[in-house]
Amino acid sequence: MAIKIGDKIRFLNSVGGGIVTKFQGKDQVLVEDEDGFEIPAFIRECVVIEENKMQVHSKNQPKANLQENLTKAQENTSKEKEEITITETPEGERLNIAVAYLPLDPKALQQSAYEAYFINDSNYFLFYNYMSRQGNSWFSRSNGVIEPNTKIFMEEFSKEDLNNLERICVQLIAFKKDKPYSLKNAISVEMRVDTVKFYKLHCFMENDYFDEGALIYPVVKADIPEKQMLVSATELQEAMQQKVRENRHIPQPIVRKKENNSAILEVDLHIHELLDNTNGLSNSDMLNYQLDKFREVLEQYAGHKGQKIVFIHGKGDGVLRKAIEKELKTKYKKYYFQDASFREYGFGATMVTIH
């Protein structure tokens, strides 16, 4: 069934829908939701659930009757929207928000355009504003309201637009409708996007949100906004040189290098080494944070063939150790792993070799 302006539709790949208000190009439409926001959507991801009554009547039909039919259609739409129930999850009470990028044609990555999606992995509605920096100003690329536990398409952009995405910012306000909820602070997270990754297919990785590989930038994890270093390379170099000059006059202890382990990278995954404050975090929240750090390190050194990385997880109940082994056996099969040196780490560490 062909989609027409005024048709009521539902999204195939996410919760929600609304009334078609406008066509964008050959394959996209703008859909007005119950809050009055226009959401871009691919025609192939929409299904008509009620045709526009105004378009099927005769031109000679009285205007009053047309208005009456339109009012009835809008009332039916409102009633159906009220019947939609949102399934909440215990882990969804903490905000987990991300921005995702996917290539339109992974087989021709050098020429492909890209899609940007907003991921709301929580039980909250979100007012969001997704921006990119242009000079000393900010440009809003997408904004609106996203429903709980959904992902939405924000925009399609070309290779030529990548330079405008080196600095992005996401602003958020979380809320629930018609029910009590825990107050969340307004969030504004500024991030630097590594545009070089858009040219490397292995950077678009398997994930929990898409069937295809995606480049995902976390914005909020378990209610904690992501913090990234945004100083320039020049500022960083000057700060490091200043620190070296200051430290030259301080007596330094002699530290002998370990000849056999000089190339081994150590990553301590104990939660107190990763977070200054764990108040309010459940065991599940802390485990997910540790695993995210584990994945982040492996992605960072993915191209360093032969690099040895020791992940210190401790002995404990073995929950983190088992979770790491599961990741290595499923998502990182190409990497070799073994127990790290017993003499140095006991049973509390695993060594991974990048291949």
Assign residue 270 the CATH number of its domain: 3.30.1370.110
**Is there a single domain that holds both residue 299 and residue 317?**
yes
pTM assigned to the model:
0.46
Token duo for residue 84: 């939609």
In this structure, the answer to whether residues 149 and 59 fall within a common structural domain is no
- Pair (26, 94) in one structural domain: no
E strands within the chain? 8-11, 17-24, 28-32, 38-42, 46-50, 97-103, 114-120, 125-134, 137-146, 150-157, 167-175, 187-192, 215-221, 224-225, 264-268, 308-312, 336-339, 349-353
Q: Does a structural domain hold residue 249?
A: no
Number of domains in the chain: 3
Residues 94 and 210 in one domain: yes
Whether residue 285 has pLDDT greater than 80: yes
Q: pLDDT band at residue 293, thresholds of 50, 70 and 90? A: very high
Domain co-membership, 119 together with 213: yes
Judged against a pLDDT cut of 60, whether residue 304 lies above it is answered with: yes
Mean pLDDT of 294-306: 89
Q: What is the pLDDT of residue 117?
A: 95
- Is residue 250 one of the residues assigned to a domain? no
**Euclidean distance between CA atoms 284 and 90, whole angstroms:** 11
User: What's the pLDDT at 240?
Assistant: 64
Same domain, residue pair 51 and 123 = no
**Tens-place pLDDT, residues 171-220:** 999 999 989 999 999 999 999 999 889 988 898 999 988 989 999 999 99
For residue 240, tell me if it sits in a domain: no
Strands 349-353 and 17-24: unpaired
Nearest to 15 by CA among 69, 68, 74, 88: 88
| Whether residue 94 sits in one domain with residue 220 | yes
For the chain, percent of residues with pLDDT exceeding 70? 80
Kindly report each contact of residues 83-91 with a partner whose C-beta sits within 8 Å and lies 24 or more positions away, as own/partner.
84/15, 86/15, 86/123, 86/147, 86/148, 86/149, 87/149, 88/123, 88/148, 88/149, 89/123, 89/149, 91/284, 91/285
pLDDT of residue 218: 94
Residue range of the domain that includes 216: 90-225
The CATH number covering residue 195 comes to 2.60.40.1600
The confidence band for 231, taking pLDDT boundaries of 50, 70 and 90, is very low
Q: Based on the domain organization, do 277 and 348 belong to the same domain?
A: yes
Domain annotation covers residue 1: no
More confident residue, 108 or 79: 108
Alpha carbon distance 339, 258 (integer Å): 19
| Residue 112 and residue 79 share a domain | no
- At 41 the pLDDT is 86
Both tokens assigned to 348: 């509390």
Is the pLDDT at 1 greater than 70? The verdict is no
- Rounded to 10°, the helix 283-300/319-330 angle is 40
Same domain as 265, residue 179? no
Identify whether 111 is part of a domain: yes
Given pLDDT bands bounded at 50, 70 and 90, which one contains residue 74?
Answer: low
Look over the chain and give the mean of its residue pLDDT values, rounded to a whole number: 81
Last residue of a domain, one of 37, 66, 83: 83
Per-residue confidence band for 62, with pLDDT thresholds at 50, 70 and 90:
very low
Which pLDDT score is estimated for 341?
Answer: 81
* pLDDT, position 63: 44
The yes-or-no verdict on residue 75 having pLDDT over 80 is no
54 with 95, same domain? Answer: no
Q: Where are the alpha helices (DSSP H) in the chain?
A: 63-83, 233-247, 271-274, 283-300, 319-330, 342-345
282 part of a folded domain: yes
pLDDT for 98-155, tens place per residue? 999 999 998 888 889 999 999 999 999 999 999 999 888 999 999 999 999 999 999 9
